Amino acid sequence: MASPILVYVHDDLDGWASAGVVFRYLGYDSRSAGRERVAVVYHDYSGPLAVLPERGQEVYALDLALTARDLNRLAETGARVTWIDHHASSIRLRPNMSLPADWRIVLSTESCAAVLTWKTLMGSATVPEVLRLVDHHDRWTFSDAERPLILALDHRVRAEGGKAFWCWDYCMGTNIPVDIREDLERDGAVLAESADARVEALAKDARLAVIDGYDALIVNSAWDRNELANQLLQREFPDRIAWVWSVAQKDGRSIVRNSLRSLPGGPDVSRIAERRGGGGHAQAAGWTGTVLELLGVIG
């Protein structure tokens, strides 16, 4: 039996949407038995890629700020790789890497990874509305009217079969179906109200820290770090970096997931994350560290 197609994606809304585009491209949806031929591996920057492909295996690496080590390991496997990403750290790394000539590589900051994946694989500039929402969320350019839709979309994708990327098939048309839009708007209004209350409460617990010479407001939360950090900046502390951390267990040990955010014109947080083995965007980045490293900052 042939090896399944391997899809590496970042473990977030943009990554899940990118995987959904691959399924659409391959002609699979939630009713297709063929989707079992695709293996999705979620990656959250907490170490090297957990699974490596076989020689000749078809691979999609989407929305991942891959390290030089991971890129070299992929290249050594002889797999057929499509790498699509929009992280600033990936674009800085690419000129320093000697990668196989047959790799298909698309790196650009013009849009989120899901939109880049759609344009690359589907060959269409007409991007589905659901992917436009993901793009606005990932690059933090959404309107007040779009925020409830995005919060509900994120909640629904998490709830439906875990990170069930194949559930994207119900709204991959040009526009989100009217009945689904109404449900998202209703649910999103409740989620937005709850999110605002949590941000207000957590803002009171934020502490001042310094990272690489920059003032940062640091707060502990395992809840959506992207939403929290950006709301802290926009509503409370626009002139600082927001640093959200949480402790998790991986392979029997404690790790600390760190997320940094800054507003346009502020510090390039991707460089801060890169120095700690992570990566990301100029205004949104992260890395995985240890409890001891965190204690060295917050005491």
Q: How far apart are CA 17 and CA 226, in angstroms?
A: 16
Residue 23 lies in a domain: yes
Report the CATH number at residue 257: 3.10.310.30
Total structural domains within the chain? 2
| Residue ranges of the chain whose pLDDT lies below 70 | 1-2, 29-35, 44-47, 160-171, 223-224, 236, 299
**How do strand 80-85 and strand 104-107 relate by DSSP bridges?**
parallel
Structure confidence at residue 173 (pLDDT): 80
Structure confidence at residue 239 (pLDDT): 78
pTM, to two decimals: 0.86
Residue 195 lies in a domain: no
Query: Are 85 and 183 within one domain?
Result: yes
Domain of 244? Answer: 205-298
Query: Are 226 and 254 within one domain?
Result: yes
Query: Are 173 and 222 within one domain?
Result: no
Query: Are 159 and 236 within one domain?
Result: no
Query: Are 247 and 178 within one domain?
Result: no
**The two structure tokens encoding residue 109:** 């900051």
Q: How far apart are CA 236 and CA 86, in angstroms?
A: 28
Residue 196 lies in a domain: no
Percent with pLDDT over 90 in the chain? 38
Residue 34 lies in a domain: yes
- Residue 88: closest CA among 274, 296, 290: 274
Helix, strand, or coil (residue 211): strand
